[in-house]
Amino acid sequence: MPLEGPEHLSMAYGLNHYALDRDLKDVLKYFLGRTPDLNALGKYAGSTLYETAYRVDRMSPPEHIMWDVRGYRADVVWLDPMEREVVKRLMIDYGVNKPPFAGGSWHEHYAGINLIGDPGLACIFTITIQTAYALRKYGPPEVRDYYKNLVGLEKPVMLGATWFTEIQGGSDLGANTTSAEPRGDKWVLNGYKYFSSGAGIADIALATARPPGARPGAKGLALYAVPRLREDGSLNFYVRRLKLKSGTVSVPTGEVEFVDTEAYLVGEKDKGIYYTLEDLMVSRLSNAAGSVGISRKAYLEAYHYALHRRAFGKRIIDHQLVRRDLLEMEVLTLESLAITHKAVDLFEKSSGDTPPYTPQYHYARLMTHIAKNITAYNSARVTMLAMELFGGIGFLSEYMIERWHREALITPIWEGTSNIQALDMLEAIAKKRAHEPFLQDMEALTRDAYDRQTAEKALESIRSTLAGLARMSPSTAEFNAKYILEDLGHAASAIILEAIGSSQGEERLHHAAKIIVDSVLQRKPIGNPGDKALESLITLGGELEL
């Protein structure tokens, strides 16, 4: 009987998920000028972490403990011991949240989210680093230094959370009704947050609330830091229940009730919505990086299964339709990876901005909307193809491939649905003129492209899309906003891939860009069977042998 792990349930277990990801290393080298050594994390991601996420999803979900053994209200969430250990190791030993706060780069953090892959576990680190980001940048002295514990620079390790959503509004934060009242040197909150990831495990959370006399709508919100315990050590808020979810099981998501809850104002009270939207950029980029990670793990499962499975007298990888599906999966994953780290790069360069922000920040925000949208849809498509490649086995929940499609389906929803991303894109263009630096940047990257002709086709698509948007009425623009967002994403990805390919001398990145331009933007066939350029994509650039 095997004792090492679930090799019998997965084709990707036991692999070093970083060592095999040539694309991730190329992209990181392009943006960082170096290739970080994430091999230890890649090995862990393909072994203990991979098994733990599967175990929690299937056998050991988080459990809400409302009352403790002494009869006091506890409202903590019990995590499987393996999950607790994984979270600690990722925080301390692998330092997933440390780089941006310890002289490193946001690229390294988001590469870590990619390698984690599991969106539930990744969410724990995302809401924690969001909290750290806001506290270090805008937090009051009483809680500012908590960021060190939230990123693993100091012990004990702490976890954070971001609680903005209420039942009556959802993504419409302007409908929030949670109130805030000053009381001495603190504030007290009263209200109810409906989707609260990290409920029961967070040591401190960020929450939106409306102070006295505030204007209606989103601009009347302030941002607060809410510790789990009051100054006297008693419970500061209540967890009503945990949600039952089809995926992201490893992060507890509950309903949180504030009853005279002690809180600290973050920044200026009339700028809360700006801090909140800025903080959402951190999680939207994580959503993009996590989507790439989901896609890559589904590809590793499908690729290795295709090498193993035989049908109609030969391995299924030798059937042209299977090769075509693998090619599509790889190109979509590459596209997602490139645009994610472009958005990360823009965020990193503008992360020192404060309201009312600079054009560079607004461009970063625009690219974040584009990246969040396109990576989410790509992950849903890639995981669907991977499940289908497995056939009936792919639909059985006992094997690991089935979970990746379920997990992918959250990515177009949380941190603002695709509709919200599209509406925010329109606002960034109409009010902030964010498309102007975007277009200038794409023009500059086109000049550095591996293949100018392909990049110029993509650039013309961007120009045409923006010109068409300028001619639309507001209602027509809203009706078509998701298509606009999608077209801008595909075209920008192709240009970015051409620029990275030129810098790294990687012809295969040009092939991916050309497929995006030809098949997605211009709706042409993607190529012919046996084309060596296409083969280089299917085989992960030659690191695995057919």
Q: The CATH number of the domain where 248 resides is what?
A: 2.40.110.20
**Residue 544 predicted with pLDDT over 90:** no
Residue-number span of the structural domain to which 187 is assigned: 160-270
Instruction: Look up the CATH number of the domain holding residue 390.
Output: 1.20.140.10
pLDDT tens string 453-463: 999 999 999 99
Region 142-147: what's the mean pLDDT? 97
Structure tokens at 321: 């339709």
Dist CA 316 CA 394 (whole Å): 15
Burial of 80 from C-beta contacts in 10 A (0-12 / 13-18 / 19+): middle
Cβ atoms of 504 and 30 closer than 8 Å: yes
Answer yes or no: is 72 within a domain: no
| 467 alpha carbon, distance to own chain's centre | 30
If one counts every other C-beta atom within 10 angstroms of the C-beta of residue 329, the result is 26
The whole-angstrom separation of Cα 77 and Cα 177 is: 26
pLDDT above 90 covers what percent of the chain? 92
Residue 111 has pLDDT above 70, yes or no: yes
The pLDDT of residue 545 is: 40
Identify the three-state secondary structure at position 332.
Answer: helix
Query: Does 2 map to a domain?
Result: no
Q: How many domains does the chain have?
A: 3
For position 506, what pLDDT does the model report?
Answer: 86
- The confidence score (pLDDT) of residue 525 equals 59
Is residue 155 a part of any domain in this protein?
no
Assess whether 455 and 494 both reside in one domain. yes
Residue 343 within any structural domain of the chain: yes
State the average pLDDT for the chain: 94
Residue that is last in its domain, among 224, 241, 270: 270
146 and 229, same domain (yes or no): no
pLDDT at 88 over 60: yes
70, part of any domain: no
Burial 344-369 (b: 16+ CB within 10 A, else e): bbbbbebbeeeeeeebebbbbbbbbb
Same domain, 247 and 307: no
Across residues 393-420, what is the average pLDDT?
A: 95
Lowest mean pLDDT among 5-14, 203-212, 483-492: 5-14
Q: What is the pLDDT of residues 316-351, one digit of tens each?
A: 999 999 999 999 999 999 999 999 999 999 999 999
pLDDT in tens, 221-255: 999 999 999 999 999 999 999 999 999 999 999 99
Query: Does any domain span residue 91?
Result: yes
In a domain, 71, yes or no: no
